[in-house]
Structure 1
Amino acid sequence: MAESTSPQNYRLPVDVIPKHYDLTVWTDLVQKKFEGVVHITVDVKKQTSKITLNVLDLELGDVSIHGVFSGTQAERKAVEMQFDRTAQRAIFTFPKSLDAGTDARLTVEFSAELSRKMSGYYLSMGGKDGKTSYSLTQFQPTAARKAFPCWDEPALKATFAITMASHVDSGVNISNMPSISEQVYTPGVASSWLAKKLDVTKNITDWKITRFETTPPVSTYLVAYANGPFAHLESHYTSPISGLTRPLRIYATEDNIAQGQYALDIMRGVMPLYEEVFDLEYPLPKLDILVSSDFDLGGMENWGLIIGKTQYFLLDSDSSSLQVKQYVASMVSHEIAHMWFGDITTMEWWDNLYLNEGFATLMGEKIVLDRLFPEWQLDARFLGSKFYSALALDAKLSSHPIEVECPDANKIIQIFDDLSYAKGASVLRMLAAYVGESQFLKGVSIYLKKHKYKNTITKDLWEGIQAATDQDIPKLMDNWVKEMGYPVVSVAERGDGILVRQDRFLETGPVDHKNNQTIWTIPLNLLTVSADGSHSIRSDLVLDDREMVVPLDSSQPFKLNAGTTGFYVVQYSAELLEKLGQQVVSPNLPFSTQDRVGLVRDAFSLVKAGYTSIGTVLDLVDALSKASEHLVPWDACATGLSYISATWWEHPKIIDQLNAFRRSLFIPFVKRLGIDPSPQESLHEEQLRVRSVEQAADAGDAWVVGELKARFAHFVKTGEESKIPSALRNITYRIGVQEGGREEWTFVKRLTQEPRDPAQGLAAMAAIGHSRDLQLAAETFRYALKDVRDQDALYYIRSLQANVTARRFLADSVMERFDELEKRYAGTFTFNGWLEAAFGALTSEEDYTRISDFFKDKNTATYELPLRQTLDTIHSRGQWLRRSTEELAGWLERRKA
């Protein structure tokens, strides 16, 4: 595999830096193009005749500068323009040098096509017929340079005054700030550039001009604007700090705007909570969300104008499941968290991306949303959705530190992963638990206020929290963000207490000396129960050496990492794990839901890596089945058993016996709770019912599969979905396609094209690849590449990946057409997902060698990280197969007997 090469100087020179942009953009949705002019007020720090800034895929017109040359104000045209496509820069040379210590005004004209690439300023097609055109921006991380010439680095903040010119009948113009005027164009009212542009237009009155208020200082990747026939819903909230009322809007095309009400309600609910938590008022006069049919991310936190996918922001509140509502609420709250973390205060460079994304994940999806929906138990949900996915990725040798060097645009886009988001959030959650959440939030408030409208690095955050807690935060946290990986804390019982030891944890097993150099400062968070039943948690206990002895009476119940707040796994002996497994499900002992999740998920992590036997973890699951009906341990058990099934997918005898075990665990819940929801069921019972039906169907239970198949058949025959509970839509569609033929596949294909709501479309996309007919699998693959939106193709590919019948066909097909796919998706967030979807479910050492050889002679600079991570997954599963197949077969045989 080719290594990425970095330019010697990957940051822009700072001899000239921007202070203010006057940006005018003319959009023609009919001709699918845009033109514009940008006047940039710059601060000349050093005498120079050259100005270097970012430009990519733009045709430039006149370039001039008005400034001070040898003490005299003058305007000069550029005498030379040089372009470096690798560094994505333009260098303008002027006939004389600008004087240092002065301001100048750079003017650049530009134009480009409105492409469908979902990057820069681009074209989307939506509406009921899919033919409604509109334009919008997606600049993160380095695509503002595709829309206008700029200093496209987060630290080079400036103010923006944006003007948009568009067809009168093209709909609405929106941007970060409210509009201050909008009028049909008449000669003499526009800037000289617009006048020159529009005065030669055949029908001058066909154009309108919208001017927007000037922004506070903002990074270029957070600038946003859009033009199209958008409808909107409107609400407002009242600031608990100032008492001011701010408008809130959600924009979408007319056909689906009604499905934006839920997201708007979440906006209204969380905005005052963020102000209270941070003690810092939202500084802009409005906040909008624009929902797009074509978008490369789930959502993007442009200041004052969040943009996101229809699937993640729209829902039918009458028919959507709790899971869909939770996902939309999390997405909306996450992006709003960025209005503070990322927008008011922005990381200095992309190596500190977690200061944006880790915080938005923790604050948006747990801390603040939990205040709105305490019944959702979001801290426990966080473990399944974020914490353990981060642990899984960070257990690879191909992991990277949270704070990682990003020398160029190729590397930047690769670190938008579970380490920047989920691990970042998890270690911040650990810090909040250690110092106390209220003190943590106080420190965060100090940090935000001190660095309002500025850029920051990790040290700035630690200083804020240290000021609030009077603790040595760098000592505790630096290794968690600056080093890759995390520890396994092993526990050995002794006469005088327990011996705890830390070593780096890897999914490939116990580490060698060279990979075991880091010593983390680990909050042990030791929960102990005394003989009289009282309990305590020692939150001050820290392991900051290789090992230490903790005095305690180990004959009484205890557990390390109480609340599963520490970012590590705990290894107990088989005997201690068995005893602890019985204790954590006891209603008489003070173990939390998070403790139960941690015990089960840690056990599965350890067995995958060969730290303990597979029989030990299956014995734990078997014991839980006799002692607990609590949802979350069962959710953790289901996840672990599904991973075992996904690893041994080519061992039919083992899969048959494993499925029998899974059925014995989950069918009793299905029989007790039923398939249909009950008006009296609790939130816990609803989630347990859904999870149990899914597991029983996955394990091939004839009754459950038959029931779901019949309900889907009724839907196909009548077009009426009433027999399918909304929470079981995904598994029902999947079983319908899996157990059916072309008729069922064609029906689901039609649902992907014309869904009643976004959640139905997602369910159909997730189901369509599950046919056991390889001809239909091939048609699904061709359909995904030819006829669906670029943003959606990955859903179809993941559907094929989840189908064991189609898994090898998928890998072969992607390799056959890889050059085409790379050309189509290169430089997008979507492409990174293709690698895992195509190859990540393979499990043999032969697969590892074949995939490695395939990429050996390719330039993998733009996807090096996700490729290595995918290969590591294949390798670790292959090792697990070699190590544990005989033991797993023996355990299943003994249980069967």
Structure 2
Amino acid sequence: MDYRLPTDVVPKQYDLTIQTDLENAKFDGVVRTDLHAKRRTSTIVLHSVDLQLSDISLQVSGRKDTLRASESATDSLVGLGIIVFPEALPAGSDARLTITFRGKLTSSLRGYYTSCGGKDHHDGKEVYSLTQFQPTSARRAFPCWDEPALKATFTMTMLSKVDSVNLSNMAAISENSCNTHDAFEDDPWLAMKARTLNDLSQWKITRFETTPPISTYLVAYANGPFKYLERSYTSPLSGEVRPLRIYTTEDIIWQGQYALDIAQKVMPLYEEVFDVEYPLPKLDFLASSNFDLGAMENWGLITGKTTCFLDNPKANDVRHQLYVACTTSHEVSHMWFGDITTMKWWDMLYLNEVRAFPEWRLDAQFLGWNYYPARALDAKLSSHPVEVECPDENKIIQMFDDLSYNKAAAVLRMLSTYVGEKIFLKGVSVYLKKHKFKSTVTSDLWEGIQSVTNRDIAGMMRDWIEKMGYPVVSVVEKEGGIQVRQDRYLETGPAEPEDNETIWTIPLNLLTVRARGTSQIDHTVLLDSRERFIRLDTSKPFKVNAGTKGFYVVQYSPDRLVQLGRQAVARDSPFTLQDRVGLVRDAFALGGSGHSSVSSALGLVDALRTTEEYLVWNAIAAGLSNIAWTWWEHPEVVNPLNAFRRSLFVPIAKKLGFAHLPCDTPDDQLMRIKAIEEAAEAGDPWAVGEMKVRFAHFLETGDESRIASDLANVTYRIAVQEGGKREWDFLKRLASSTANPAQALAAHTALGATRDMGLAEATFRYATTEARDQDVLTFLKTLQRNVATRRWLGEKVMVNFGKLEKKYAGTFTFNNLLDAAFGGLSSMEDHKRVADFFERRDKKAYDLQLQQTLDTIKFSAGWIERSTEEIKRWLEEHLPRRDFA
């Protein structure tokens, strides 16, 4: 079945008027769409879901009479509205289609929906409305052509209560009370609405400037009791000053300054990077207390969770500040790459994902946040290409994952390194200028970059985008150099021949050291065949994939890996921070898949004990935590492994302590958090005891000063884990009473750490019936993290799956629910039970996520079978006997 709209008529301009009635949880409006007929037709097909349509008419250009719809119907299966007129629209003609519509404001997290602010999110006085249209939910707010390629201009008018604020993509050009004589001008729909309003003085009309051509999923509007903070920036290209604002409810707006400062800093940076001026008159942010995604790049009105854009300036939480800075910078970058140019269809989703990497070691942070999550997902047989066919809404929303976003960003980063960042960005600028306000396909981007490089960019990138998976590059040392070979990397082990057909064009980014000790990186060396011999002096340090810029794994011999580890921590090391992170992550990935031994990875960790860099320790922690996560039912492995973790992290935790120091660098602060978290997770009595004492003081006195804000997550979690109902109740109340979104999230995250199954039941009930819809995944993930409730959680979700599916179907939240519920299980019995449960269900809305979750369980079970004895043996050889008690 073809789910795409016919192209016999296309929209050119929408004149959209919306009335928002928050008190009665409803909206209605009229949309007048200027159309162009490519072919003769009497039937117009557009998108409409859960809307009541009426008063449908068509005014054909050059005709005085108005055509009334002779027939209209909706197809709820595919969300289509089908309108038939008594006369055909001639080919080549223009017309204006007018449709009146109405709908309900629900808390569905998609379309035009309601959210709540204030300390008590059930307080009706703080209800507000906002849109979330990506990928296919504009059709739930107004009848439209809801496909990315069908760009059109939009003129917005909003009718709302006078004590509320209206926001949209563009700047407001007028705002008038409805009781003024010119409020309705010549708009018959508004005049009709005026006759139904009890008190015109309580309503107002806000009109906005017309947008440039824009895809429907980027249209945005909101209404509610918002307050704002304001800054501005000066365009380095034109000198024009543009306002920047952040909006949210009054009680938390004071936490918006940090994101606003970041936006003020990066806006001119992106103009210079892309050599394209920001084309809109303003940029607003709206922080919402109930939002499906992290954040959304609506053009001119970026929306997102309060935790993404708000930061308590008194907290000094460097990890949260980094998160806010990166989220803000990322969404702002979309104002160019994704909004000025937009992919024609959702199979080109990654064309949104060019990233800038300003300051704060963001390139190294990118590895943990984006690069490795993408590699983990792409290592599965159930992976999918970056560019994949998306025939319908069910498939589209499943594509919003770590492949479409993070792998896309990673391979573009690889390409940038290969051609040079300045040249790469110049090519992107060529692409943006050529396709400004248009929709694009993959070849358009390659053409732009190729025009400034004279290299076959399309040929090089084809397999990285169109094929699933990525390679492992094995390095074998021979006389006079190295033999390198590529094969597809799979988490379950070496690929079978039928899964190992792709030959990628791989930039090897080869680092070598000259005789005088200076290092160089050759970015021109490619591996575009199965194998290749490269001449170099193996007696001196060398490394493939310097800077961890390429999207692949590198496998060395065990001896060379340990040697690389020692060279990495040497005072005069030629390796960068990214190199050290890459060595650790690759070693654990290869150990997990069976390409090499887990012992090699553990040996590398031992060799890196003296490193002082947070991101290297973060990579070590991720690898060791993954083993503990997988072997959660095997104390004979977990107990000595935790002893090993304590030997690594407790000395660092004690050195840095629980209190911030004036001399702390950002690395010190991040290292303190990580070391204390790892020490506590590994059961260190000192770390756990400290947190219990500090939380007890907070519990008894209400004074939280002894708990550093950036340690609230782990402290609250330990308090619930080691405590009982009193601690659980205290944090549940704190989550709903604090004005600090980050603290509320920390409190919520802790509730699932309980070992009391009665409290676990209460946590699940609260998550699925009382908490904000956006937070359900937070609770499921923390219950999954807790080994006492992990398998119980899977059973609870199975029992309640029908209710959860009905509530969250079609949202990004539902997209991640299966992994949050079942991804921590690790036996083939679990695999069979989960597979059997879903066997007879209609899975078309989540079939990809289900298969990925089942693959995760299967991988864990296989790894346990393959590596248990090896890990035990290594730990026995490297730890005192007492640690095996």
TM-score by length of 1: 0.96
CA distance in 2, matches of 1:632, 1:189: 58
Q: 1:189 to 1:702 in 2, by over 3 A?
A: closer
Contact 2:120 2:736 in 1 (8 A): no
The structural deviation recorded for 1:869 is 1.0
Secondary structure of 1:74's match? coil
Q: Kindly provide the amino acid, as one letter, of the partner of residue 651 in structure 2.
A: P
Cα offsets for 1:457-482 (capped at 9, x unmatched): 11000011111222111122111111
Alignment-derived partner of residue 676 in structure 2: 693
Secondary structure of 2:638's match? helix
Q: CA RMSD in A?
A: 1.2
| Equivalent in 239, 242, 247 of residue 238 of structure 2 | 242
Report 1:683-722 matches (<5 A).
683-722=666-705
Contact 2:318 2:666 in 1 (8 A): no
Alignment-derived partner of residue 893 in structure 1: 876
| Equivalent in 472, 477, 480 of residue 456 of structure 2 | 472
Alignment-derived partner of residue 127 in structure 2: 133
| Equivalent in 593, 596, 600 of residue 612 of structure 1 | 596
Cα offsets for 1:233-291 (capped at 9, x unmatched): 11111000000000111111111111111111111111111101111000011111111
CA distance in 2, matches of 1:671, 1:201: 67
Cα offsets for 1:781-833 (capped at 9, x unmatched): 11111110101121111111111111111111001111111001110000122
Secondary structure of 1:612's match? coil
| Equivalent in 541, 552, 557 of residue 573 of structure 1 | 557
The structural deviation recorded for 1:188 is 6.3
CA distance in 2, matches of 1:111, 1:767: 41
The structural deviation recorded for 1:126 is 1.6
| Equivalent in 10, 13, 35 of residue 20 of structure 1 | 13
Secondary structure of 1:209's match? strand
Secondary structure of 2:236's match? coil
Query: Unmatched 5+ residue regions in structure 1?
Result: 1-6
CA distance in 2, matches of 1:726, 1:715: 13
The structural deviation recorded for 1:189 is 4.0
Alignment-derived partner of residue 210 in structure 2: 214
Cα offsets for 1:368-421 (capped at 9, x unmatched): xx2xxx3x2111111111111111010001111011111101011111111111
Q: Kindly provide the amino acid, as one letter, of the partner of residue 183 in structure 1.
A: N
The structural deviation recorded for 1:73 is 4.5
CA distance in 2, matches of 1:311, 1:616: 39
Cα offsets for 1:285-317 (capped at 9, x unmatched): 111111111111111111111111112111101
| Equivalent in 265, 269, 272 of residue 273 of structure 1 | 269
CA distance in 2, matches of 1:532, 1:188: 81
Secondary structure of 2:65's match? strand
Deviating above 3 A after TM superposition, structure 1's stretches of 4 or more consecutive aligned residues are 186-189
1:549 aligns with 2:533: yes
Report 1:871-882 matches (<5 A).
871-882=854-865
Q: Kindly provide the amino acid, as one letter, of the partner of residue 399 in structure 1.
A: S
Contact 1:844 1:877 in 2 (8 A): yes
CA distance in 2, matches of 1:34, 1:261: 32
The structural deviation recorded for 1:425 is 0.7
The structural deviation recorded for 1:174 is 1.2
Q: Kindly provide the amino acid, as one letter, of the partner of residue 11 in structure 1.
A: R
Query: Unmatched 5+ residue regions in structure 2?
Result: 881-885
Q: Kindly provide the amino acid, as one letter, of the partner of residue 159 in structure 1.
A: T
Report 1:716-755 matches (<5 A).
716-755=699-738
CA distance in 1, matches of 2:196, 2:423: 62
Q: Which moved more, 1:725-734 or 1:128-137?
A: 128-137
The structural deviation recorded for 1:708 is 1.2
CA distance in 1, matches of 2:658, 2:159: 55
Alignment-derived partner of residue 229 in structure 1: 225
CA distance in 2, matches of 1:839, 1:686: 33
The structural deviation recorded for 1:135 is 1.3
Alignment-derived partner of residue 78 in structure 1: 69
| Equivalent in 133, 138, 142 of residue 148 of structure 1 | 142
Alignment-derived partner of residue 90 in structure 2: 99
1:90 aligns with 2:87: no
Report 1:339-378 matches (<5 A).
339-356=335-352, 358-359=353-354, 362-363=355-356, 367=357, 370=358, 374=359, 376-378=360-362
CA distance in 2, matches of 1:577, 1:896: 21
1:812 aligns with 2:805: no
Alignment-derived partner of residue 446 in structure 2: 462
The structural deviation recorded for 1:882 is 0.5
Cα offsets for 1:444-496 (capped at 9, x unmatched): 10000000000001100001111122211112211111100000000111112
Cα offsets for 1:718-745 (capped at 9, x unmatched): 1111111222111111111111111111
| Equivalent in 258, 261, 286 of residue 262 of structure 1 | 258
| Equivalent in 181, 184, 187 of residue 174 of structure 2 | 181
| Equivalent in 391, 406, 421 of residue 390 of structure 2 | 406
Contact 1:320 1:759 in 2 (8 A): no
Alignment-derived partner of residue 540 in structure 1: 524
Alignment-derived partner of residue 311 in structure 2: 315
Secondary structure of 1:140's match? coil
Q: 1:474 to 1:845 in 2, by over 3 A?
A: same
Cα offsets for 1:570-596 (capped at 9, x unmatched): 001111112111111111221100110
1:829 aligns with 2:825: no
The structural deviation recorded for 1:762 is 1.1
Q: Which moved more, 1:616-625 or 1:837-846?
A: 616-625
Q: Which moved more, 1:721-730 or 1:269-278?
A: 721-730
The structural deviation recorded for 1:443 is 0.5
Report 1:473-488 matches (<5 A).
473-488=457-472
Q: Kindly provide the amino acid, as one letter, of the partner of residue 798 in structure 1.
A: K
Secondary structure of 2:330's match? helix
1:788 aligns with 2:771: yes
Secondary structure of 2:42's match? strand
Alignment-derived partner of residue 4 in structure 1: none
1:602 aligns with 2:586: yes
Alignment-derived partner of residue 586 in structure 1: 570
| Equivalent in 178, 182, 199 of residue 195 of structure 2 | 199
The structural deviation recorded for 1:206 is 2.3
Q: Kindly provide the amino acid, as one letter, of the partner of residue 564 in structure 1.
A: T
Q: Which moved more, 1:212-221 or 1:160-169?
A: 160-169
Cα offsets for 1:154-196 (capped at 9, x unmatched): 1111111111111223x11111111111111146642101111
CA distance in 1, matches of 2:130, 2:289: 11
Cα offsets for 1:669-688 (capped at 9, x unmatched): 12222222221233322222
Contact 1:533 1:589 in 2 (8 A): no
The structural deviation recorded for 1:639 is 0.6
The structural deviation recorded for 1:72 is 4.6
Contact 2:176 2:183 in 1 (8 A): no
Q: Which moved more, 1:81-90 or 1:627-636?
A: 627-636
1:758 aligns with 2:754: no
Q: Kindly provide the amino acid, as one letter, of the partner of residue 92 in structure 2.
A: G
Alignment-derived partner of residue 771 in structure 1: 754
- Percent of aligned positions that are identical: 58
CA distance in 1, matches of 2:845, 2:556: 41
Q: Kindly provide the amino acid, as one letter, of the partner of residue 706 in structure 1.
A: G
Q: 1:82 to 1:883 in 2, by over 3 A?
A: same
Alignment-derived partner of residue 282 in structure 1: 278
Q: Which moved more, 1:629-638 or 1:341-350?
A: 629-638
The structural deviation recorded for 1:606 is 0.3
The structural deviation recorded for 1:533 is 1.1
CA distance in 2, matches of 1:184, 1:746: 47
Alignment-derived partner of residue 433 in structure 1: 417
Alignment-derived partner of residue 622 in structure 2: 639
| Equivalent in 25, 29, 39 of residue 32 of structure 1 | 25
Secondary structure of 2:816's match? helix
Q: 1:579 to 1:483 in 2, by over 3 A?
A: same
Contact 2:119 2:736 in 1 (8 A): no
Q: Kindly provide the amino acid, as one letter, of the partner of residue 300 in structure 1.
A: M
Alignment-derived partner of residue 883 in structure 2: none
